[in-house]
Amino acid sequence: MTTISHFIGGQQAGDSGAPSQAVFNPATGETPSQVLLGGSDEIGAAVAAAKAALPEWAAMPVLRRARVLDRFKHILWSRQDELAEIISREHGKTHDDALGEVTRGIEVVEFAVGAPHLLKGEFSESVGAGVDSYGIRQPLGVVAGITPFNFPAMVPLWMFPIATVAGNTFILKPSERDPSAPMALAAWLKEAGMPDGVFNVVHGGKPAVDAILAHPDIKAVSFVGSTPIANYIYTTGTANGKRVQALGGAKNHMVVMPDADLDMAANALMGAAFGSAGERCMAISVAVPVTDKVADALVARLKPKIEALKIGPHTDREAEMGPLVTEQHLAKVRGLIDQGEKEGAEVVVDGRAFTQTAQGYENGFYLGGTLLDRVTPDMSVWKEEIFGPVLSIARRDSYQDAVDLIHNHSYANGVAVFTRDGDVARGFVNEIEVGMVGVNVPIPVPMAYHSFGGWKASIFGDHAMYGAEGFRFYTRLKTVTARWPRGMRSDPEFTMPTLG
Ligand code: NAD
Q: Which atom of ligand 1 is nearest to the CA of 176?
A: 11
Does ligand 1 lie within 6 Å of residue 206's CB atom? Answer: yes
Catalytic residue among 154, 202, 233, 281: 281
13-48 CB burial, b ≥16 within 10 A, e <16: bbeeebebbebbbbbbbeeebbbbbbbeebbbbbbb
281 catalytic? Reply is yes
Q: Which CATH architecture has domain 2-248+458-480?
A: 3-Layer(aba) Sandwich (3.40)
Q: Is 100 exposed, middle or buried (0-12, 13-18, 19+ CB in 10 A)?
A: middle
Does ligand 1 lie within 6 Å of residue 293's CB atom? Answer: no
Q: Which atom of ligand 1 is nearest to the CA of 225?
A: 30
**CATH 3.40.50.2300 is right for the domain spanning 252-439:** no
Phi, psi of 196 (to 5 degrees): -55, 140
Does ligand 1 lie within 6 Å of residue 285's CB atom? Answer: no
pLDDT on residue 252: 98
pLDDT on residue 288: 98
Does ligand 1 lie within 6 Å of residue 97's CB atom? Answer: no
**Angle at which helices 80-91 and 62-78 cross, to 10°:** 70
Distance 147 CA to ligand 1 centre (A): 6
**Three-state DSSP string of 45-89:** HHHHHHHHHHHHHHHCCHHHHHHHHHHHHHHHHHCHHHHHHHHHH
pLDDT on residue 17: 80
Does ligand 1 lie within 6 Å of residue 42's CB atom? Answer: no
Q: Are 275 and 97 in contact (CB under 8 A)?
A: yes
Q: Which atom of ligand 1 is nearest to the CA of 226?
A: 32
Does ligand 1 lie within 6 Å of residue 250's CB atom? Answer: yes
Where are the domains positioned within the chain? 2-248+458-480, 252-439
Instruction: Give, using CA atoms, the residue closest to atom 24 of ligand 1.
Output: 148
Average pLDDT per 10 consecutive residues for the chain, totaling 500 residues: 96 89 97 97 98 98 98 98 98 98 98 96 93 96 98 98 98 98 98 98 98 98 98 98 98 98 98 98 98 98 98 96 98 98 98 94 97 98 98 98 98 98 98 98 97 98 97 97 78 76
Distance 389 CA to ligand 1 centre (A): 18
Determine the residue type at 26: P
Does ligand 1 lie within 6 Å of residue 146's CB atom? Answer: yes
Distance 148 CA to ligand 1 centre (A): 4
pLDDT on residue 489: 65
